[in-house]
Structure 1
Amino acid sequence: MRLLFLGDLVGRSGRVAVVEALPGLRERYRADFVVVNGENAAGGFGITEPILTELLDAGADVVTTGNHVFDQRETLVFIERADRLLRPINYPPGTPGRGAGLYKAANGADVLVVNAQGRVFMADLDDPFRAVDRELEACPLKTGADASLIDFHAEATSEKQAFAHYVDGRASAVVGTHTHVPTADEQILERGTAYISDAGMCGDFDSVLGMDKEEPLQRFLTKVPNARFQPALGEATICGVGIEIDDQTGLARAIAPIRLGGSLSQTEPAFWLPEG
């Protein structure tokens, strides 16, 4: 099974790049299942229902989020009817939306997707370790799901790594999001779970985390906010990972980064490319 994950979409630049490229990427990689993190898709802050529809129409099977999920107030309403939009599962009881779901892949496989948020240097939500535990116990690999992916939206790399080791062998993949910077630590852990600390963002890297440089620079220099952050509008780099899942075990066989367009070095999963 081939699972494609694309990191945090930031503003119009990242959103347009993904919407235009995803149909071709899905065909090129023969991806069975696609997850996109869309929490910064609406002007860099949150997601709207039309943007969600646009991403799903382009080929995303599930859209995950993070700490900016409710930056657009309309999300509090439409997330209840959007079963392919996830918010972090460890929000308190009663929060609108859902943090996990079981979805059908193009090859007929059942894929469990869980969205969780870390707590180190972030809002003090419920314990993500125990929250994800409950989902994995309710829908274990090969008896409840053919594959499972966890989007762990967190600031601290230590928390991301600890979490990945905690679920190693019980999930197909743990993909870190939130920092917008792609890391070079993609690997298969000891018990077979694919892991990367951060998939990176889909946005303009001639920026400060996808935002136009002027306002962040002024805030660092003066400690005084002068204006609202605005997404950078230059050419986006599409960042993510490709993950190959063993159909027999539900565990990972390979993981590799994806960086296409924009200013970063370019790379694709060699194990998905045509020979020659």
Structure 2
Amino acid sequence: MRILFLGDVMGRAGREAVMSRLPGLREAWQLDFVVVNGENATSGHGLSADHARDLLAAGADCITLGDHAFDQRDMLSFIDSEPRIVRPINFAKAAPGKGVRVFETVDGRRILVAQVLGQVFMKRPFDDPFSAIEPVLRNYPRGGQIHAMLVDMHCEATSEKMAMGHWCDGRASVVVGTHTHVPTADAMVLPGGTAYQSDAGMCGDYHSVIGMDKDEPMRRFITGMSKGRFTPASGEATLSGLFVETDDASGRAVRVEMVRHGGRLAQAAP
């Protein structure tokens, strides 16, 4: 299975980049399944129902969220009517939506997508991500009921992301980190056949401070004072993410490539 994961979509620039480029990439790269992290797509804070529809129409088969899952209030009701959106499995017991779903491709292959929030340096005390994902790994053996499994590990600390990668190695097909908006250069296949990257980066304008127009963040760093709100940078966006090819019989990753398409970080296609 040929899988594309795109990191955190950041504001209008990120949305427009996904909407304009993803349809062509699906065809050119012969993608079977596309997962997009959309939790910053609406003004940099959460995801609205309308913008979720835009990303799905552009070719996303699944949208994952994060700690800003419900910053846009209409997502509280929309997520229950749209099964292609996955929120963190350990967000809150009373949260709407689901943190794990199984999808079927057009040719009948099945892929599980789950998202989990880390604990280190996060603003809220989320439940233990390792015990949260363990029943999923145990109940859906790779190469059994499903052909592939992707886990979106949404957190700050690279050490926690790496630990999750090793925890899932041999059981998930892909573990990819999100949240920090800075792409890491450590894409690899772990010994048990799990593709891993600490952070996929963002789909946004990199002439910024993690996707925000740089003036206000720099003012706060330099002076310790705020003057206005953070607003997403509006220049040309780079689509950042991870391309993974898996073996259908075993669910193992057989190829992994970092994706940097367009904008300031553009590189050759996988």
Query: Normalising by structure 1, what TM-score?
Result: 0.95
Correspondence for 2:176:
175
Correspondence for 1:264:
265
Letter in 2 for 1:54: D
Is the Cα contact below 8 Å between 1:141 and 1:148 reproduced in 2? yes
Higher mean Cα deviation, 202-211 or 69-78? 69-78
Correspondence for 2:88:
88
Correspondence for 1:193:
194
Return the offset for 1:137.
Answer: 1.5
Correspondence for 1:202:
203
2: CA distance, partners of 1:267 / 1:226: 40
Correspondence for 1:65:
65
2: CA distance, partners of 1:245 / 1:174: 13
2: CA distance, partners of 1:34 / 1:8: 13
Is the Cα contact below 8 Å between 2:38 and 2:47 reproduced in 1? yes
Correspondence for 1:273:
none
Is the Cα contact below 8 Å between 2:143 and 2:248 reproduced in 1? no
Return the offset for 1:80.
Answer: 1.6
2: CA distance, partners of 1:201 / 1:35: 13
Correspondence for 1:118:
118
Correspondence for 1:48:
48
Correspondence for 2:135:
134
Return the offset for 1:191.
Answer: 0.6
Return the offset for 1:265.
Answer: 4.2
Return the offset for 1:106.
Answer: 3.2
Is the Cα contact below 8 Å between 1:175 and 1:199 reproduced in 2? yes
Unpaired segments ≥5 residues, structure 1: 270-276
Which portions of structure 1, spanning 4 or more consecutive aligned residues, are displaced by more than 3 angstroms?
Answer: none
1:232 aligns with 2:263: no
Is the Cα contact below 8 Å between 1:138 and 1:144 reproduced in 2? no
Query: RMSD over aligned Cα, in angstroms?
Result: 0.9
Correspondence for 1:272:
none
Unpaired segments ≥5 residues, structure 2: none
Is the Cα contact below 8 Å between 1:100 and 1:113 reproduced in 2? yes
Question: 1:63-114: CA deviations, max 9, x gaps?
Answer: 0011111111111121121211111101221111110100012332100000
Correspondence for 2:7:
7
Q: Aligned pair count? A: 269
What is the DSSP-based 3-state SS (H/G/I as helix, E as strand, rest coil) of the residue aligned with 2:210? coil
Letter in 2 for 1:217: M
Question: 1:207-258: CA deviations, max 9, x gaps?
Answer: 0000001100111011112111000000001111110101110110010011
1: CA distance, partners of 2:248 / 2:198: 24
2: CA distance, partners of 1:202 / 1:267: 16
Query: Normalising by structure 2, what TM-score?
Result: 0.98
Return the offset for 1:145.
Answer: 1.0
Give the share of equivalent positions with the same residue, in percent.
53
2: CA distance, partners of 1:5 / 1:77: 25
